[in-house]
Structure 1
Amino acid sequence: MALVTDILEWLQALPQPALVGATGALVFAECTIGLGFIAPGESGLLVAATTANTAPRFLILWAVVAVCATLGDSLGYAIGRKFGPRLRETKLIQKYGTDAWDKATDVLHRRGAWAVFFARFLPVIRTLTPAAAGTSGLEFRKFLPAAAAGAVSWSLLHISLGAAMGEAAKRIEGVMNTGGLIVVGVLVAVAVFFLLRWKKKKAMGKLEERPTEPSKAE
């Protein structure tokens, strides 16, 4: 039974507007403060990207996801601008992201718009940075270009990975039986799990780094 091929073919058979629209909605939700803890935007994007096997599909998905990510970040920024530091005291932030919020705010104060760009690639921090940017007083004219550049780069990277995964899965399934494919699938799932844990741990470690303060004369 060609399980993986059947799933990919089913996804590819979906109306393109529906698949792209659902993916864009997930990404938009993930980029908006709070929803990023429950909306699997990155995972949904990788799955949808397995169907980006033609140039038009790839480009359309890329454009929609980049725009939705930028809009989600902008909404998060507006929320931070409106409610300010009070956001840190909300139940959601207290439950899921107090440390991440503090680190995002600290990096924003030290790095400005560059923090917005690089936060796009960091789990959890990605969800909180736009609102933290609005709270920190970073000007929108500086925030928007950084957010858009991050969204374009992030979406290109993940769509490329997803498209490559889709093609690789088809090729592997073409030379393996179902039992062997299941074993490979389990191993890949385990590898992805530990890769994401390592990526998150490394990202949080980098955010914990502080620049060395110059010594002051006594």
Structure 2
Amino acid sequence: MNDFVPWLIEFMRSIDPIARTLLAGLAVLLETSILIGLVFPGDTVVLVASIGITSPLEGVAMVIAVVVGALIGESIGFGLGRWVGPHIRASWIGRRVGEHNWVRAERYLARRGGIAIFLSRFLPVLHSLVPLTVGMSHYSYRRFLAWTAPACLLWATAYVSITSLAVGSFDELADQVHFAGYIFVGIIVVFLLLVLLSKKVIARVERHHLDSDDAEAGADVKD
């Protein structure tokens, strides 16, 4: 571990910062557009790319690139939902997603409105379906952005800042303790476990709005 971590950090730092930042933004764009996020691990790319950050300026640039990439990707999903959403839903890939997941996304948006857009960024499957679902609804693009932008910013800031903290801790301790690599890995693992726990908590708290079939399904959309 103490050999692998220094190698990984140096390798990521050897990549041109601009190229590394743009790659992370592109990865998130792909992850958040249409249904690619169901199979493409954009958050993993952001985490790995952030390992190479060497200054606050690079960190800020990474957050901006990731947020912009996420917003472009979700905007593509929204636009496709507005123009050809029903066709995507009826397509082969739409059927592979499962009709029950489309229904859950529609129900969640109908019951929670903007809150559903915000929280879907942190929920499996829904983070790819909700932009399309919102595009097929009466929601305006401006209202969609108003809810999804803060979620994207929170998500990007968390991944970039925690990874930068782990790398900074390693840099400070590498010459002092022999287990600095394990500290780096420990910080990343704890963060990922917290992310997983947070998703489970959100899913549990929102379960009623996602899965219940009572009369609330026809409730008015909340702002």
Same fold (TM over 0.5): yes
Deviates more, 1:148-157 or 1:128-137: 148-157
Distance of aligned partners of 1:97 and 1:43 in 2 relative to their CA distance in 1, 3 Å threshold? farther
Q: Tell me the residue number matched to 1:32.
A: 33
1:120 aligned onto 2:112: no
Contact in 2 for aligned 1:103/1:207 (Cα 8 Å): no
Q: Tell me the residue number matched to 1:208.
A: 207
Distance of aligned partners of 1:66 and 1:197 in 2 relative to their CA distance in 1, 3 Å threshold? closer
> C-alpha deviations, 1:33-66, integer Å up to 9, x for none?
2211222111111111222331110111111111
Q: Tell me the residue number matched to 1:176.
A: 178
AA paired with 1:205?
Answer: R
Deviation at 1:29, TM superposition (A): 0.3
> C-alpha deviations, 1:82-139, integer Å up to 9, x for none?
1233433332233235443322221211222222122122232111111111012211
Contact in 2 for aligned 1:109/1:136 (Cα 8 Å): no
1:87 aligned onto 2:88: yes
Q: Distance in 2 between matches of 1:72 and 1:16?
A: 22
> C-alpha deviations, 1:151-205, integer Å up to 9, x for none?
2221111111221222344556552369x949x95x8888777666545544443
Q: Tell me the residue number matched to 1:47.
A: 48
Contact in 1 for aligned 2:29/2:73 (Cα 8 Å): yes
Q: Distance in 2 between matches of 1:80 and 1:213?
A: 26
Deviates more, 1:26-35 or 1:196-205: 196-205
AA paired with 2:54?
Answer: N
Q: Distance in 2 between matches of 1:49 and 1:81?
A: 34
| 1:122-201 alignment runs, 5 A limit | 122-170=123-171, 174=175, 175-176=177-178, 181=182, 198-201=197-200
Contact in 2 for aligned 1:62/1:155 (Cα 8 Å): yes
Contact in 1 for aligned 2:163/2:188 (Cα 8 Å): no
Q: Distance in 1 between matches of 2:145 and 2:17?
A: 28
Deviation at 1:2, TM superposition (A): 2.7
**Percent identity at matched positions?**
26
Count of aligned positions = 211
Gaps of 5+ in 1: none
Gaps of 5+ in 2: 217-223
3-state SS, counterpart of residue 40 of structure 2 = coil
| 1:66-77 alignment runs, 5 A limit | 66-77=67-78
3-state SS, counterpart of residue 136 of structure 1 = coil
Q: Tell me the residue number matched to 2:221.
A: none
Distance of aligned partners of 1:181 and 1:146 in 2 relative to their CA distance in 1, 3 Å threshold? closer
So what's the TM-score if we normalise by structure 2?
0.79
What CA RMSD, in Å, does the superposition of the two structures yield over aligned residues?
Answer: 3.0
Distance of aligned partners of 1:150 and 1:199 in 2 relative to their CA distance in 1, 3 Å threshold? closer
Q: Distance in 1 between matches of 2:38 and 2:45?
A: 14
Q: Distance in 2 between matches of 1:96 and 1:192?
A: 29
1:61 aligned onto 2:58: no
Contact in 2 for aligned 1:24/1:65 (Cα 8 Å): yes
Distance of aligned partners of 1:133 and 1:55 in 2 relative to their CA distance in 1, 3 Å threshold? same
Deviates more, 1:119-128 or 1:36-45: 119-128
So what's the TM-score if we normalise by structure 1?
0.81
Q: Distance in 1 between matches of 2:88 and 2:207?
A: 21
